[in-house]
Chain A
Amino acid sequence: MSAVTQTTPAAAEAAPEREWRPPSYWPFVVPALVVVLAVIVFPWLFTIWMSLNQWKVGSPTTFVGLANYVRLPSDPRFVEAVGHTILYTALSVLLPLIFGTLAAVVFHAKFPGRGFLRGIFIMPMMATPVAIALVWTMMFHPQLGVLNYLLSLVGLPPQLWVFHPGTVIPSLVLVETWQWTPLVMLIVLGGLAAIPTEPYESAQIDGAGVWQMFRYITLPLITPFLFIAGMIRMIDAVKSFDIIFAITQGGPGSASETINLYLYSVAFIYYDLGYGSAIAVVFFLLIVAMAAMMLHLRQRTLWTEIGGGA
């Protein structure tokens, strides 16, 4: 092996040197580049263009500049949707992070059937969202649902769950948490696997308890992974659509209408494509801003090391 690598530069100084230049790999990338340009980059650019137009299906389009964007802050439904999105996202990041970390600590232990049980544990996030939303809707049913029955077993009063404006967002977050805790668990589990055993050994000698070891050794060392998990969770939660749409359609009233749901209504129920595009652009910028903000909380190297470079 070493003979080969040593003779390569020596034996063929000039020609292969040039042949090794990156551009020769372009033919591999071109087909994907065409696809990405067509189905990903073109929609981005076209959305920006549409957002500058009055563009309704069935009526002529006119260029209106930034009028669609100006309309946003004074649209009460949009402002309300932003509030719902922030609440929904905050809860859907925090709860899976907490439960996912606990689950990861448990799954880090060695026990028979660990792989199989891990497979079971990640089933909620791989299952078809619409299918599980359907079953959750049945479980939320105030009279016949199994959740109210379970509450009655522990002596709690029945709830209206997704059928009451006050409880609809927490109820949806319950589904989201159930669904996405496994992803946090997997990421944190990766972090736990990377921790060396020495700190624990010396801590044990020093007489540290289980909680102290978790608090002062495990937690600091898995923080980068928690951060990555939180970031991914935030990006997904803010865009959450299937679960909310299939369970409540944004209701009751508009109590669970997030930006994404409102965007759907504007674009594909009212067919106001220009305004919808403006919402899409602002929504995208909002996600990027939130992601950038989180990135700045941590050094960039972390992201490229663990998330981006993988």
Chain B
Amino acid sequence: MSRKSKTRERLFTVFFMFAVTAGFISAVSALNLATADIVARNAGLFMQRAVLEAAGLDPTGSAPQVNARYGAAVKKETSPDGDTFFRVVDPGSGEESRVFVRRGAGLWGSITAVVGMQRNHEILAGVTFVEHNETPGLGARIDEAWFKKQFRGKRPPLRRVPEGTASASVSEFDAITGATVTSRAVEQILNRTAAETRHKAGP
């Protein structure tokens, strides 16, 4: 092969890679731009549901329903020390609770919990988890309804008891069998949140 045709072949190779890359990247970018709004809306809706659930309100329903309920009950606020939280007023009873987003170390990664405290900062209004990488079937069971529901009305600091104990005590919760690290993480996140927010308690 002559030197000239070799150079041409090399140039073609570079040109070809550029052309193919440009073509595919444009297609992917276009799709990304086209769906960016929907993705952002999904993320927003997910957070709204989590805040409602943590405040003990109904998080189910279509997007407009959740939007309306959220708009009527929730106000995002910043405390004097720069901490963001949500002030939620139950439209039915007029009771107020505050919802905090808190993170703690789980087994495989961090767990982000949304924790609702009732107005007096003594009692949990509700708990839900927005992000975690726990083991499916074990630690990931923190997403199950029975696990999240049991925290409503509990008074931290909490203590773990074996799963299925269905503890009636206000300072105990059922851990998950086979997920000790995850359960301990949840315990720590909740107790820390309660301790931190209690002394912030104000009107």
* A and B physically associate: no
Could you list which residues of chain B lie within 8 angstroms of chain A, going by C-beta atoms?
A: none
